Chains A and B, each alone.
Chain A
Amino acid sequence: MKKLLLIILLPLAMLTGCSHEKKDMNVSALYQHYAVRQDLTVAQVNGFKLNDTVRVDVVLMQAEDENAWQQLKEEFNIQGDEGTVSWLGESENPAIRTQWSGVPVMRVIASLYKHTIGIYRIDNEAQYDAIVEYQLDKTKKGTK
């Protein structure tokens, strides 16, 4: 009977263990660092679709209270009191497209109104271009 239980439970335990490890590997260090905080709601969206071929990973954080928001603003160097702060600039004053540096970057977009920030992980030029095109396309659709 013990043998039978071993035969059944051992592969099950190994596979379950593997699947947990896999899940943890999919979560970024950034998510893991902030997810333990009680004053923040933190999410990670893997494979956020920018177009048919390009996807990015995004970590989103929402402050539960004013103190948490002030702390987040300081940690991510977000300035201003209202509107949206972004590396892409504003709708009336878009940032100039710079050449891809070749170095993976984390870009932060913050909604001061919603006390939320999104950190988009950009690993290559295709993602860099797609994120700008996505924003411009969505903005165009939004104004129609």
Chain B
Amino acid sequence: MDEERFEEIWEMAEAEQYGRRLAAEYPAWRARRNRVAGMALLTLITAGVGLPLWHNITQSNTQHDGYTVAYCNRADISDQYWVNMADELLKSV
């Protein structure tokens, strides 16, 4: 057997061994991948559903000082300004 042929067979054997190792490790790797993907999906769904729900619950349950919730057609004026105005109008009478 010449040296060149030996190298060729050696490489084939190595490749086969590597392939066998990969094949042996694949089920465990696949299980790990599925577990990670499952966890990520679960986290995303929990966040997607939970955050808006939490926002709704906290918003509806929030009791500010002197009012429940306020809306304004101008964003640069604070809620407290209007609460004070509602108070002031009553007081001014």
Contact = CB atoms under 8 A, between A and B. Distances in A.
A41 to B, nearest CB: 5
Nearest to B80: A45
B49 A15 contact: yes
Contacts of B60: 22
Nearest to A17: B52
Interface residues of B, number: 34
A4 interface: yes
B77 A41 contact: yes
Interface in A3-27: 4, 7-9, 11-12, 15-16, 18-19, 22-23, 26-27
Given A43-B82, A60-B86, A138-B90, A12 B48 contact: yes
Given A26-B69, A58-B86, A118-B89, 15 more contacts: A11-B48, A18-B56, A26-B71, A41-B77, A45-B70, A45-B79, A47-B63, A47-B67, A48-B67, A49-B67, A86-B89, A111-B88, A118-B90, A120-B86, A134-B90
Interface of A: 4, 7-9, 11-12, 15-16, 18-19, 22-23, 26-27, 31, 35-36, 40-49, 55, 58, 60, 62, 84, 86, 88-91, 109-111, 114, 116, 118, 120, 131, 134-135, 138-139, 142
Interface of B: 41, 44-45, 48-49, 52-53, 55-56, 59-60, 63, 66-74, 77, 79, 82-83, 85-93
